[in-house]
Structure 1
Amino acid sequence: MGSIQGVSLFLLGVTLSLLPSPVQGGKILVFPVDGSHWVNMNLLIQSLHAKGHEVTVVRTATSWYVKEEAPHYSSITVTLPEAVCIEEQDFYVTFLVKMLEIQKQGASLMAFMTFYWEMTDSLSKIHQQASLLGVEIFENKTLMSKIRDSKFDLVLVDPGLPVGVIVAHKLKLPVVFNVRWITSGEGHFVVAPSPTSYVPTSGNAVSNKMTFSERVKNTFHYFLNTCIDKFIVCPPYDKIVEKYLGPDVNFYHLLQGVDLWLMRVDFVFEFPRPTMPNIVYIGGFQCKPAEALPSELEEFVESSGEHGFILMSLGTLVNGLPIEITSEIAAAFAQLPQKVVWRHAGERPNNVGNNTLLVKWMPQNDLLGHPKIKAFVAHGGTNGIYESMYHGVPIIGIPLLFDQFENILRMEVRGAAKMVDVTKITQQNFLKVLQEVLINPSYRNNMKRLSALHRDRPMHPLDAAVYWIEFVMRHKGAAHLRTESYKMPWYVYHSVDVISFLLAILFMLTAFVVAVIRFTCLRMCRRRKPKQE
C-alpha cells in the first residue's frame, strides 16, 4: 500500500514539474488610452492585480478616466504642455456635431472631402499631442531612472496612442498589445495579411462579400488609410524614434514586432480573415452574467409586464445630438407598449412618454441580462455590441462615429440588428424599425444563436488574456510566435523579385524558341530555292 502511495506521489510530482511555473508578483507597466478604451484596460488591470501582479499605469495630468489613485494600480503622472484633445470631455461631442453636418450633405464628393479633411486634421492634432508624452518621459532623466530601477517584466500597451511601444523598446522589455484599433485603423492590417478582396478596410462599412464596385472602393480606402497613417499619423512618432532610439530603428516595425496581440475580437462578430500565431482573440472579455438591479430600476422594468422593456444608450455622445433628433426618438418610444430605459444626460427631449425613464447612469450589462429586455437601441460601440451579443438581445443601431457603422453592419448582415441613419430619423421611420425588431422573431433568434456561439469557448476570454500576459512574462517574450516578415523589403515580401526572375527566364526561353523556329524556317527556305531553280 505504501509503495502505491509512493508511486502516486512520484507521478504527481513529475506532472506538476511539467506544468508551467506561475509568475509570482510580476511587474507590469501600462500605457492606456483614455475614454472608453480605459474601461477594457482597467478590467484587465484588475484581473492582473487579483493574480498578485504589481501594475503601474502611465497617465497624463489631464486624464479624466484614468485616476491617479486606485486600489489595484499605482500611477506615474506626466504633465504635458497641452492636454491630448481626446482627454477633453467635450472633444467627441464637438467632433460629432461636425460629422453630423457633413453627413447631412449626403454622399457628395464635397462631403467626402470635408469628412476626410476634418478626420485628418483631428488625427494630426491628437498624435502630435500624444507623442509629447514620449518626449516628456525621455527628457525626464529622473523619471526614466525610476522606471528602469523598477525592473518591470512587461509593458502592456493600448496602441491607439502608441508611445508605450517606443518606451518599451528603449527599456528592452517585451510588449503585449491590448488592441482592436491602432494608428492605421483596425489592428490586423498592421500584423496580418489583409486582402482587400474580402477583408473590409477600416472606415468602409461593407460586408466580406463585396461586389466589384465595393472592392474598388475598398482598395481605395486601404490606399487612403495607408497614406493618412504614413503622412499624418506616424511622423510625430518617427521623430521621437529617430531622436531617442537612433536612425536604424523604424517606428512601424516596432508596432509590427511586438510579442503578443490581445485582440478584442471574436469571429462570431468579426468577418473571417487571415491571422497570425501571436494574435490571441479576447473579444467580449468584459462580458459577465447580470447582477440584481437597484430596487427603483427593478420596479420600473417589472412594471412593463408581458411587453417587456427597451434599453437605449448612445454613451456620452448623445449630448451631441440635436434636440430635434432626440425628440423624434422620444415621440416614437411614446407610442410603444414597452417601457423604455434611456441613458440621457443632455437636454431633455420633447415628447417624452410616460413609458420612458431618463437616467444619467445605468448598469447596462445588468439591464441587458434582465429577462424582460426586448431590444437594445445603441450607437454601436464595441463594448455594447459584445454585451448585447452575450445576452442575446437584438439591436436597433444608430451609429454616430468611427467604427460604429461597421459594427452595426456586421450585426445587420447576421440578421441580429437593424440600422437607422441618425440624420434621417423621424418619428415614423424610427417607430417602424422598432416595431420590426420587436415583432419579427428572427432578430432575437439570430442574436440568441450568436450568443450561444460566443459563449461556447474553452476558457473565458479574460482568463485567456491574463494567461497569455503571464506566458510572455514567464518566457521573457514570445519571439517564436512572431513572424519576421515585416523586416523584408516590400519587393521581397510580395515576391516581386521572384516573379521578375521567373518572367525573365520565361522571356528568354520564349525568345530562344522563337529564334530556333525562325532559324529552322530560314534554312528550309534556302534549301528549297536551289531545287526550284
Structure 2
Amino acid sequence: MMGSRFLWLLWAYTCCWSAGFCGKVVVWPTDASHWINVKVLLEELVLRGHEVTVLVPSSNLLIDYRDTSSPFTFEVLQVPFTQESLDAIMEDFLNFWMNEISNLTPWEIMWRMKKDLEVFTNMSKQTCDTLVTKPQLIAKLRQAKFDILIADPLCVGGELIAEILAIPFVYSFRFSDGNVVERLCGGLLSPPSYVPASTMRLTDQMSFVERLKNFLFYFYMDLFFLKFWQNEWDGYYSNVLGRPTTLCETMGKAEIWLIRTYWDFEFPRPFLPNFEFVGGLHCQPAKPLPKEMEEFVQSSGEHGIVVFSLGSMVYNLSYEKSNVIARALSQIPQKVLWRYKGKKPETLGSNTRIYDWIPQNDLLGHPLTKAFITHGGTNGIYEAIYHGIPMIGIPMFADQHDNIAHMRAKGAATELDFSTLETQDLVDALNTVINNSTYKENVLRLSRIHHDQPVKPLDRAVFWIEFVMRHKGAKHLRPAAHHLTWTVPFPLSVPLPRPASPTADNCLCAAKKVVYSHVIVVLC
C-alpha cells in the first residue's frame, strides 16, 4: 500500500520538475457519483505534478480516506453525525424515490423534498462548522499556501472555505434544480422558450404550454431558493466572513465552471466564457475483463450481452421488483451482467449473472455489448456515449430523468417508469433497442461527436485548473452582470398567449417578443 503511494509521489515530483510548475490544490468534495467523477480529475492533477488535499467528513459514502495507497492527502473533518445515521438517511432518501413517490400527491412530494433539503442542509452546516470554528485548522490550511480550491456547488461550503483562505476556486458541476445556481449565481443565460429547466424532463422543442410551464418553474425555483438561501445560508456566510454577503454572491465568484456535459448531450443554448464542458472526462478505452467474466461474455455468441446497473447508490430494490426484472432478463437471448446486491431473485434465468460490482466502462467497451440498462446517472450515460452503446433508461431521482430525456430526444435511448415497471415492459424495451438499428446508429453519431473534440475533456479540465493557478484567477472571463443589481440585467414582462381581439393582438404582437434573462424570446 505504501509502495503505491510512494510511486504516485515519485511520479508527481518528476512531472513537477519537468514542467517547472507544481501547484497545491485543496478540494471540498461532493460524495457519491460526484466523487467518482472528480476523483479521476484529481488523480490526473497528481500525475501532472500537483499536490492534492481533500477535506473529507469523517462520515461519508464513498470517499475512502483510510486508503493508504491513495495519491491524495486527506484532512478528515470530525463531523457530529455518525456513519450509521448517514447511511440511514440515504436509505430513507432512496426508498422514497424508488418506492413511495408514486403514491403521493404533488404537494406531498414537494413537502418531502423540502424536508430532505433541510436534512442535507443541516449536515452541510455541521460539516462547515468542523472547519470554520477551528482556528487551528484554518491556520494549518493557510500555512499550506494552496493555489486553488475545487468544489461542487451541490455541497455548499467550498466557496466559503476559498474566501477564508483567500484563494480562487473552480466548480466541477452537473446541474442545480431549475439551474438556479448557474443562472442566479453564475450569470448563465437561460431563455425559457428553448432552454429546458433541469428536472423538468423537457427538450428544446417545447409547445407553448411547455414553455409556459418551463417559465413558471424557473420563476418558482428562483423564489424558493432565494428565500431558502436567505434563511439558511446568507446569515451563516456573513457571520463567518465578518461582513454582509450572500451564498449566491459568494458562489458567483467561481473563476471557472467545469460542466460535466458536452454538445453530444446538451441542447444548443447560450453559455458564458467561464463555463467549460468536460463531460466524459472519466471515460477511457476498455481494459480486458476478468477471466471468468470474459468467458461468460464470450459464451453469448452472436447474441451478445446486456449490461445492467442502477448505479453506486441503488442497492435496495424490493424482492418483488427484483423478480419482475429478473423474469424479463430471462426472456431475452442475450447474456446479462447485472450489478445487484439484494437477495437472489427466484426468477433469475441461466443467462443472467449478478455481481456486487462490475467493471462498467470495460463492459460497455466490449465488442459484444448490445445494450445498457441504466438509471441514467451522468457517469454511466457518458460511458455509453463514449463506447456507442444504446440505452434503456430507468431513472429514479436527481438528474436521471433529465439525462434520459436528453438521450431519448437524440434517439439513443428508450425510457421505462420504475414505479410501474412490469416484466413485458422491460422485454419490449430491450428487444426494441437491440433490434432497431436506429438506436445504435444514433448513439454512434453521439460517440463520434464526443471523440471529435480539439481537446479531450480531461485535458481541458486540467488546463483550466492550471490556468487559474498560473494567473491567480480568470477575471477576464467574468461577465459584468455580476456587478449589477439583480433588476438591471433582467428586464421582464409577462408571457401571454395571442389575444383573441385584433386590437389587442396588434398591440401585443407589434413587439411580439418577451425579454427574459438577457435574451429576447418569442412566445406568440
TM-score category by the smaller chain? 0.7 to 0.9
Cross-structure match for 1:154:
148
Which residues of 2 match residues 338-349 of structure 1 at below 5 A? Answer: 338-349=334-345
Which residues of 2 match residues 257-272 of structure 1 at below 5 A? Answer: 257-272=253-268
Cross-structure match for 2:455:
459
d(CA) in 2 for partners of 1:409, 1:91: 28
**1:258 Cα shift?**
1.1
Q: Which of 116, 120, 124 lines up with 2:118 in the alignment?
A: 124
Cα pair distance change 1:184/1:141, threshold 3 Å: farther
Give SS of 1:217's match: helix
Cross-structure match for 2:95:
97
Cross-structure match for 2:418:
422
Q: Which of 356, 366, 373 lines up with 2:369 in the alignment?
A: 373
Cross-structure match for 2:503:
none
Cα pair distance change 1:448/1:184, threshold 3 Å: closer
**1:252 Cα shift?**
0.6
d(CA) in 2 for partners of 1:468, 1:401: 31
Cα pair distance change 1:205/1:250, threshold 3 Å: same
Instruction: Report if the CA contact (8 A) 1:203-1:221 is conserved.
Output: no
1:369-415, CA deviations, whole angstroms, 9 ceiling, x for partnerless residues? 00000000000000000000100000001111111111011101111
- Is the deviation greater in 25-34 or in 320-329? 320-329
Does residue 174 of structure 1 match 2:168?
yes
Q: Which of 130, 146, 156 lines up with 1:136 in the alignment?
A: 130
Does residue 324 of structure 1 match 2:293?
no
1:420-471, CA deviations, whole angstroms, 9 ceiling, x for partnerless residues? 0111111112211111111111011111111011110111110111111111
Q: Which of 284, 290, 297 lines up with 2:293 in the alignment?
A: 297
Cross-structure match for 1:43:
40
Task: Identify, as 1 or 2, the structure richer in helix.
Answer: 1
Does residue 396 of structure 1 match 2:395?
no
**1:316 Cα shift?**
3.9
Cross-structure match for 2:205:
209
Cross-structure match for 1:486:
482
Cross-structure match for 1:57:
54
Cross-structure match for 2:356:
360
Instruction: Report if the CA contact (8 A) 1:134-1:240 is conserved.
Output: no
Identity of paired residues, percent?
38
Cross-structure match for 2:24:
27
Instruction: Report if the CA contact (8 A) 1:205-1:406 is conserved.
Output: yes
**1:126 Cα shift?**
0.5
**1:495 Cα shift?**
4.6
d(CA) in 2 for partners of 1:490, 1:227: 13
- Is the deviation greater in 423-432 or in 174-183? 174-183
Aligned pair count? 472
d(CA) in 2 for partners of 1:496, 1:232: 23
Cross-structure match for 1:75:
74
d(CA) in 1 for partners of 2:65, 2:101: 38
Instruction: Report if the CA contact (8 A) 1:34-1:63 is conserved.
Output: yes
Which runs of 5 or more residues in structure 2 are unaligned? Answer: 1-17, 494-524
> What is the RMSD of the two structures over their aligned residues, measured on CA atoms?
2.0
Cross-structure match for 1:5:
none
Cα pair distance change 1:83/1:488, threshold 3 Å: farther
Question: Structure 2 counterpart of 1:26, which letter?
Answer: G
Give SS of 1:148's match: helix
Q: Which of 132, 150, 164 lines up with 2:158 in the alignment?
A: 164
Cross-structure match for 2:441:
445
Instruction: Report if the CA contact (8 A) 1:32-1:57 is conserved.
Output: yes
1:101-148, CA deviations, whole angstroms, 9 ceiling, x for partnerless residues? 44433xxxx611111111111111111220222222121111011011
Cross-structure match for 1:472:
468
Cross-structure match for 2:517:
none
TM-score, normalised relative to structure 2: 0.86
